[in-house]
Amino acid sequence: MIAEAGHYALVLALALALIQSFVPMIGARLRDSALMNVARSTALAQLVFVGASFIALVTLHVNSDFSVANVYENSHSMKPLIYKITGVWGNHEGSMLLWVSILALFGGLVAAFGNNLPLSLRAHVLAVQAWIASAFYLFILITSNPFLRIVNPPIEGRDLNPVLQDIGLAVHPPMLYLGYVGFSISFSFAIAALIEGRIDAAWARWVRPWTLVAWIFLTLGIAMGSYWAYYELGWGGWWFWDPVENASLMPWLAGTALLHSALVMEKRNALKVWTILLSILTFSLSLLGTFLVRSGVITSVHAFANDPTRGVFILLILCLFIGGSLSLFAGRATSLKQGGLFAPISREGALVLNNLLLTVACAVVLFGTLYPLAMEVLADFKMSVGAPFYNLSFVPLFVLLLLAVPFGPMLAWKRGDLLGVTQRLLAAGVAGLVVIAIVWAWTRGGSALAPLAIGLGVFVIAGAATDLAERTGLFRLPFATTLRRARGLPRSAWGTVFAHAGLGVALIGIVCETTWNTEYIATMKPNDVAQVAGYDLKLDGLLERQGPNYREMIAQFNVSRDGEALSVMTPSKRSFTTRGSSTTEAALLTRGASQLYISLGDVTAEGAIAVRIYHKPLVLMIWWGPVLMAFGGVLSLSDRRLRVGAPKPARAKQRLQPAE
Amino acid sequence: MTLWFVFALMTVAAIFAVLWPLGRGARPDNQGSEVAVYKDQLAEIERDLAAGLIALPEAEAARVEISRRLLAAAGSESGLVLTSSLKWRRAAAVLALVGLPLVAAAIYVPLGSPALRDFPLAQRERGAGSGMAQSLENLVVQVQQHLEKNPTDGRGWNVLAPVLERLGRFDEAVRAYRSSITYNGESAERRSDLGEAITAAASGVVTAEAKTEFERAHALNADDPKANYFLGLAAEQDGRKDDAANIWRALLAKAPADAPWRPLVQTSLARVGGGVTMPALSDETIAASKEMNDGDRNAMVRGMVERLATRLKQNGDDVEGWLRLVRAYLVMGDRDKAQAASTDARQAIAKDSERLRRLNEGLKTLGLDG
């Protein structure tokens, strides 16, 4: 009964979404409050039904009900409880159900907490949400139904892909989906604004928290996914320019640009066209990501369930929404009211530059992702675009962006003084140069670019600190005043500082890891000692252990440095009988921000084992950076105050540029 | 029955979600407006000014800008009054009452299986008679689960291995036989059973690995019929017809008259005849070749094989022809050429899926691409 009730709940959610798709639209046209309010109750009811459906699927997985095909194919009665639950979204059907559940969650949140929205805007936003929801409910029910049954249920399931039997699966997909799907709200707001023909600073105020939430989760989701790949795949790599990683990076780049231009719109009523276009673009890229992962057009580590027939359906949804929204945009963009004016050198101008760099970087990634696909389809020619391409195209763009980041927040609104800002950033620049010199002198090895890049990272961090010092009047005013001003500073300003500093932190981590990472690959026998980056790793022995649904071979390493014993590391290889496959569980030893990393290969006939040992200096900073960025986002989100960008009054007559 | 009751309740709840707002009167709703946002922004400026975050001239400029927006917003909002359209509300209510259940039924009925009960694991373990198919496969799973927990139970492996082999799960059978040998100790019978499973996994080709097992069995018990039979087969597949015939003849000589495997060995012996046939070729050829000496015969066979290869190069549609060619190469002990021929064959008939299927099946029985 649980299975069928869950199935029916999903069907009812579709029926409600269909009603929500157009009844509120008619209501908004007639200005009838009851019809408009239908959006609210149906959105909440949809959340209840999809939630029930999702809980039903979780229950089925937990109870190991193999009369449900999805459970049979992806679960096993011996699996630990946590993986029974996470296994729900460790497969195509379940992950799509999670996708719509989060979509319904966001719709429900707008319905529940959207009291500050004008009635017609809320009705339109929820109606657009319902269009998206209807399309995906149909997709799930028709092509990837998780509730299909097996008449003669088998006694045991086929188990979950062992690579996915990890705590990472509990965190990475839900976070990523909260990010992807969260951007559907800004999309809906943009479409609603285009339909109503009204867009202004108030609109940006209303859409701000939703965009921020989505951005925070996407940032954390990508970082988490990268860390997961780092420790689970056993190669010590943390970013592969895999099409699926790109698919999550693209919405992040566009979403970051959206976040910044929505800010300009709220504060200064400018950059309207940018904001609308970026809202559409960000969600379109999220949909594209879904298409790339779910259709099977690409083969990657994520292709745990793909099927070309589903691809056609998603492609259809993709064309409908991207095509439809862009045509609406083309038709309505000209009617948008002209926004505020600003000089090219100003905070607004800096943010336009930021948008330009981010969207071009996004376009580069898009090109790198789709070009090989296009070549394969059109010219029947297999190729892959990897790190060299992105190093030549994406990296220079980001270097430019990072150079500009400290300038942005310090320029005044409307008209800025570049020379003045440069002077104030002098200290940060000097800090960067000093670090370059120190690193250069210290290492004398590796790439000549590495010290420069580290200097850039330091410049970004110091720039963020300078901005804070300027705002609080540190060193200029008495300390007590500074403290008072720091307390009075809006939390969003603190958020900016943390988020920008996070960029610098991540950059330093990336450069250190790629330049000075040491690698040791060998076959070791018990009592052999490997020396890596000053550490001595002694292989004590190999032992076997029986896990709940796997057998495990553990290698035990004693780690010491200069004769002083530090720790014991136990990398292992697990073999899963049901799927007949095995995984490598790397062992990590964290020392400050650096890590030692051991992963096992095969055992040779003589009882020796192949091992890969890496020392990765400052590698953790790669993920601390995004966490810092997300923390900045949370600070900014917690700031309920209105955002006002006070313009710098004109001293002399200056020629102003139109906003777009 | 309960299920339908639950469905009905859920449907009613869904309908209610649509009807509820429609039923409420046109009382003024609390809703936000742009004016409110701009008023808040003005208040924000005062707060920033008081905290010393912005200077007075900047605050003044901001105030002017926001006031301008406030006026514009107030002007556009005053023209909007809420109306209530009874006709449309009724239409929406009808849609909810009739349309919603219809849509739900139309989608659920073809997709759902309302007649099927849940089968959670706990219930399954309590009683097997609950309609659960107690098929052989399910029994195998139960034994496997037992062995997963007690991998040293040799008797369990002994029971499981032949069942797996009969089910065609040869790779698993090989593992099971190996475990059986590990935990029960070795015997000629177990060794040759293992060899048989390996052979079956390789689609009937006695691989080097399998041969080792048969040789071990033979060393343990020189009279083990299975080991002897397969050693003969290995010899045949290696192209050593005479050896094969000798092994099988010896086997038959020692065998009891009522041994069930006698006919099989006899057929095999007949296949290798006096140790002279090339099974790849037709009967007439074999008859003709019988009158020749070894050198001539080989030359003739090679010539025929070459002719067949040339013919197939010109006209590659003939699946049986390709299979005959591959088999001939295999019998002549030329595995590389056999592989090459099968690749050529695939290319030649790649466009015809039906033929390709037949070819692949044929190749499988020959032990290529096992």
The interface residues of chain A toward chain B in range 456-475, judged by CB-CB distance below 8 A, are 471
Mean of the pLDDT values across residues A342-367?
91
pLDDT tens-digit map of A630-649: 999 999 998 877 777 777 77
- Name every chain A residue with its beta carbon within 8 A of the beta carbon of B103: 14-15, 18
Read off the DSSP letter of residue B97. I
Give the model confidence (pLDDT) of A595-607 as tens digits.
Answer: 999 998 888 877 7
**Closest Cβ opposite residue B69 in set A201, A642, A643:** A201
Q: What's A122-166 look like in SS3?
A: HHHHHHHHHHHHHHHHHHHHHHCCCCCECCCCCCCCCCCCHHHCC
Nearest residue on chain B to A41, judged by CA atoms? B17
Over the stretch A18-70, which tens digit does the pLDDT of each residue have?
999 999 999 998 888 889 999 999 999 999 999 999 999 999 999 988 889 99
Residue B60 lies in a domain: no
Q: Which residues form the domain of B203?
A: 136-272
**Residue in B82, B100, B113 nearest the CB of A149:** B113
A5, A117, A269: residue with CB nearest B32: A117
Instruction: With CB atoms and an 8 Å threshold, state whether B95 touches A340.
Output: no
Q: A603 — contact with chain B (CB < 8 Å)?
A: no
Inspect the interface and report whether the beta carbons of B114 and A2 lie closer than 8 Å.
Answer: no
Q: Which amino acid is at A542?
A: L
Q: What is the ipTM of this complex?
A: 0.86
Give the pLDDT score at A613: 92
**B17: distance to nearest CA of chain A, Å?**
5
**Do B204 and B260 sit in the same domain of this protein?**
yes
Contacts of residue A568, defined as CB under 8 A and 6 or more positions apart, other chains included, come to A540, A556, A557, A558, A559
Sorting pLDDT into bands at 50, 70 and 90, what band is B276? very low
* Mean pLDDT on B91-106: 93
CA nearest B92 in A: which residue?
A: A23
Q: Letter for the amino acid at A619?
A: V
- Test the A interface: residue of B31, B100, B171 with most A CBs within 10 Å: B31
Nearest to B84 among A9, A34, A67 (CB): A34
pLDDT of amino acid A134: 96
Half-sphere exposure at residue B49, Cβ-oriented, CA atoms within 13 angstroms? 16
Label each residue of B310-357 as H, E or C: HHHHHCCCCHHHHHHHHHHHHHCCCHHHHHHHHHHHHHHCCCCHHHHH
Looking at the fold, whether B237 and B306 belong to one and the same domain comes out as no
Cβ pair A489:B53 closer than 8 A: yes
User: Chain B partners of A148 at a C-beta cutoff of 8 Å?
Assistant: 111, 113
pLDDT band at B78 (very low <50, low <70, confident <90, very high): low
Beta carbons of A34 and B31 less than 8 Å apart:
no
Cβ neighbours of B41 in A, within 8 Å: 201, 642, 644
Q: Closest-CA residue in chain A for B39? A: A642
How far is the C-alpha of B194 from the C-alpha of A272, rounded, in Å?
Answer: 75
Q: Which of B209, B239, B272 delimits the end of a domain?
A: B272
* SS3 (DSSP) at A535: strand
Give residue-wise pLDDT tens across range A565-606: 889 999 998 888 777 788 888 999 998 889 999 998 888 877
B343 lies in some domain: yes
Q: Where are the alpha helices (DSSP H) in B127-261?
A: 136-149, 154-166, 170-184, 188-201, 208-220, 225-237, 241-254
Instruction: Work out the minimum CA distance from B132 to partner chain A, whole angstroms.
Output: 7
Cα–Cα distance for residue pair A279/A460, rounded to 1 Å = 27
Which of chain B's residues have a Cβ under 8 Å away from the Cβ of A41?
A: 17-18, 20-21
Mutate to test the interface with A, among B15, B41, B78, B80 (most CBs of A within 10 A): B41
Are B219 and B301 found together in one domain? no
Same structural domain, B171 and B240? yes
Task: List beta partners, residue A597.
Answer: A588, A614
Highest mean pLDDT among A311-315, A622-626, B172-176: A622-626
d(CA B302, CA B334): 12
* pLDDT tens column, B159-210: 888 888 877 788 888 888 888 888 888 888 888 888 888 888 877 778 888 8
Give burial (CB, 10 Å; 0-12/13-18/19+) of B346: middle
Q: B40 vs A642: CB contact, 8 Å cut-off?
A: yes
Residue B80's closest chain A neighbor by CA?
A31
Are both B266 and B215 inside the same structural domain?
yes
Reported confidence tier of residue A496, pLDDT bands at 50, 70, 90: very high
Whether B202 and B144 share a structural domain = yes
Whether A377 contacts chain B with CB within 8 A: no
CB of A66 less than 8 A from some CB of B:
yes
Mean pLDDT along residues A347-375: 90
* Average pLDDT across chain A, whole number: 87
The answer to whether A563 contacts chain B (CB < 8 Å) is: no
State yes or no: pLDDT of A659 exceeds 80: no
- Which residues of chain A are within 8 Å of residue B120 when distances are taken between CB atoms? 60, 63-65
The last residue of a domain, from among B238, B272, B306: B272
- Residue A7's pLDDT is 95
Report how far residue B204's alpha carbon sits from residue A508's, in angstroms, rounded to the nearest whole number.
60
> Do B182 and B304 belong to one domain?
no
Asked whether the beta carbons of residue A32 and residue B88 sit closer than 8 angstroms, the reply is yes
Measure A379 CA to nearest chain B CA, in Å. Answer: 20
pLDDT of residue A628: 96
pLDDT tens column, A335-348:
776 667 788 888 88
Q: Is there a contact between A30 and B85 if contact means CB atoms under 8 Å apart?
A: yes
Together in a domain, B239 and B213: yes
Three-class SS state of A564: strand
Q: B349 lies in a domain?
A: yes
Nearest to B251 by CA among B230, B274, B235: B230
Q: Is B120 in Cβ contact with A64 (below 8 Å)?
A: yes
**Do B238 and B163 share a domain, yes or no?**
yes
Q: Which residue has the tokens 């707001």?
A: A189
For residue A178, what is the enclosing H or E element? helix A168-196
Using CB atoms, pick whichever of B58, B96, B120 lies closest to residue A19. B96
Size of interface A-B (CB pairs under 8 A): 239
CA distance A366 to chain B (A): 36
- Asked if residue B311 and residue B261 are part of one domain, the reply reads no
Contacts of B138 in chain A (CB under 8 A): 154-155
CA B356 from centre of chain: 20
A63 touching chain B per CB within 8 A = yes
User: Do residue B297 and residue B324 come from a single domain?
Assistant: yes
Interface test with chain B among A1, A12, A269, by most B beta carbons within 10 Å:
A12
Angle (CA) A415-A417-A419 rounded to 5° is 160
CA B179 to centroid of chain Cα atoms: 25
Give residues with Cβ within 8 angstroms of B132, minimum separation 6. Answer: A152, A153, A155, B119, B124, B138
Rounded to whole angstroms, the Cα distance separating B329 from B345 reads 14
In B, minimum Cα distance to A145 occurs at B111
Query: CB-based contact (8 Å) between A485 and chain B?
Result: yes
The partner residue sitting opposite A202, judged by closest CB among B30, B34, B103, is B34
> Helices A491-516 and A449-472: crossing angle, nearest 10°?
170
Long-range pairs for B299-308: beta carbons < 8 A, 24 or more residues apart: B301/B328, B301/B332, B302/B332, B305/B280, B305/B329, B305/B332
- Of B272, B301, B322, the domain-final residue: B272
> pLDDT tens digit string along A116-165?
888 889 999 999 999 999 999 999 999 889 999 988 888 778 888 888 88
Q: Which residues contact A539 (CB under 8 A, 6 or more apart)?
A: A524, A525, A526, A527, A528, A529, A530, A555, A556, A557, A609, A611
> Is the alpha carbon torsion for B215, B216, B221, B224 positive or negative?
negative
Has residue B148 been placed in a domain? yes
Q: Do B233 and B255 reside in the same domain of the chain?
A: yes
Query: Is the pLDDT confidence value at B88 over 60?
Result: yes
Q: Which residue of A has its CA nearest to B86?
A: A32
Determine, for residues B53 and A471 on separate chains, whether the beta-carbon distance falls below 8 Å.
Answer: yes
Domain CATH for B204: 1.25.40.10
**What pLDDT was estimated at residue B275?**
40
| CATH assignment of the domain containing B358 | 1.25.40
Q: Please indicate, yes or no, if residue B335 is contained in any of the structural domains.
A: yes
List pLDDT tens digits, range A167-181: 888 899 999 999 999
B128 within some domain = no
**Which chain A residues are closer than 8 Å to B38 by Cβ?**
201-202
Give pLDDT tens digits for B213-260. 888 888 888 888 888 888 888 888 877 888 888 888 888 888 777 778
Two structure tokens written together for A461: 């961090």
Residue B206, domain member (yes or no): yes
Mean pLDDT of A429-441: 83
For chain B, say whether A208 makes contact (Cβ under 8 Å): no
Confidence bin at B279 (pLDDT 50/70/90) = very low
Give the tokens for residue A335: 């009617």
- Name, in order, each residue with C-beta under 8 angstroms of A637's C-beta and a sequence gap of 6 or more: A209, A212, A213, A216, A495
| A264 exposure class (CB count in 10 Å sphere: 0-12, 13-18, 19+) | buried
pLDDT of residue A427: 84
- B122 to chain A nearest CA, in Å? 7
Least confident of A189-203, A312-326, A336-350: A336-350
Query: What's the token pair of residue B318?
Result: 């003939």
Q: Is the dihedral of CA B250, B255, B257, B263 positive or negative?
A: negative
Q: Is the dihedral of CA A11, A12, A17, A19 positive or negative?
A: positive
Asked whether residue B154 is assigned to any structural domain, the reply reads yes
Cβ–Cβ below 8 Å for B137 and A154: yes
Contacts with B153 (C-beta within 8 Å, 6 or more apart), sequence order = B146, B147, B183
Cα–Cα distance, A611 to A155 (Å, whole number): 38
Please write the tens of the pLDDT for every residue from A252-283: 999 999 999 998 888 888 888 889 999 999 99
Burial B89-105 (b: 16+ CB within 10 A, else e): beebbebbeebbbebbe
Contact A200/B69, CB-based, under 8 Å?
yes
Structural domains of chain B, count? 2
